[in-house]
Amino acid sequence: MKHTDFGSMPCPIARSLGKVGEWWSILILRDAFYGLTRFDEFEKSLKIAPNMLTRRLAGLVEGGLMERRQYSARPPRYEYVLTKAGRDFKPVLLAFVAWGNDHLAPEGASLLVVSRETGKPADQVLVDANSGLAINDEDYMFAPGPAATDVMRSRLIQINQPVRA
């Protein structure tokens, strides 16, 4: 089955989904953050078919999120390590943890993000690094970037109109 190519779409969400929008890819990245690097480690952890894992790892390498490095010459063996782009995906995974714990874990959280210093769970919020303020609907909005299309500009103008009582 051929997937739609989102790479040429101007939307950063669509382009991101084009690189990591398939669940196996996100789970491989999760496991890479857990320290896994080798094919057999990913296969065992995910219980994924080898042909599927091969395709997903190749896609992550091609997409620039992982790098394939040889660690043994005889026999040739490779490991997969996160690139800068792959490491920059961590906040997305942290958002999945917070959202999943809040909305999909009636039995309680199975994974927490905690302070290394205190061991206390983090209360995750998205923060504007310039102001230190939490990004919320009252103070922040979507705005067109320099490469925004006319359609996107029109859509953003429409959604950013003040609500009339």
- Structural domain tally of the chain? 2
Q: Which two tokens stand for residue 107?
A: 């039995």
CATH number assigned to the domain comprising residue 22: 1.10.10.10
Q: What is the pLDDT of residue 49?
A: 97
> Which string of DSSP letters, residue by residue, matches 68-104?
EEEEETTTTEEEEEE-HHHHTTHHHHHHHHHHHHHHS
Q: What is the pLDDT of residue 164?
A: 67
Dist. CA 26–CA 88, nearest whole Å: 13
Tens digit of pLDDT for each residue in 127-136? 999 999 999 9
Q: What is the residue whose two structure tokens read 């395709």?
A: 55
pLDDT above 90: residue 103: yes
Q: What is the mean pLDDT of residues 84-108?
A: 95
Cβ distance 10 to 18 under 8 Å? no
Range of the domain at 37: 16-84
Q: What is the pLDDT of residue 1?
A: 54
The reply to whether 117 and 142 lie within a common domain is: yes
Q: Which two tokens stand for residue 6?
A: 């989102």
Tens digit of pLDDT for each residue in 40-62? 999 999 999 999 999 999 999 99
Cβ distance 21 to 56 under 8 Å? no
The percent of residues above 90 in pLDDT, for the chain, comes to 82
pTM attached to this predicted model: 0.87
Spatial neighbors of 109 by CB under 8 A, at least 6 apart, are 101
Q: Is the peptide bond before 76 cis (omega within 30 degrees of 0)?
A: no
Q: What is the pLDDT of residue 19?
A: 84
Q: Which two tokens stand for residue 102?
A: 């809040």
Tens digit of pLDDT for each residue in 15-26? 888 888 889 999
Among candidate residues 84, 119, 139, the one where a domain is terminated? 84
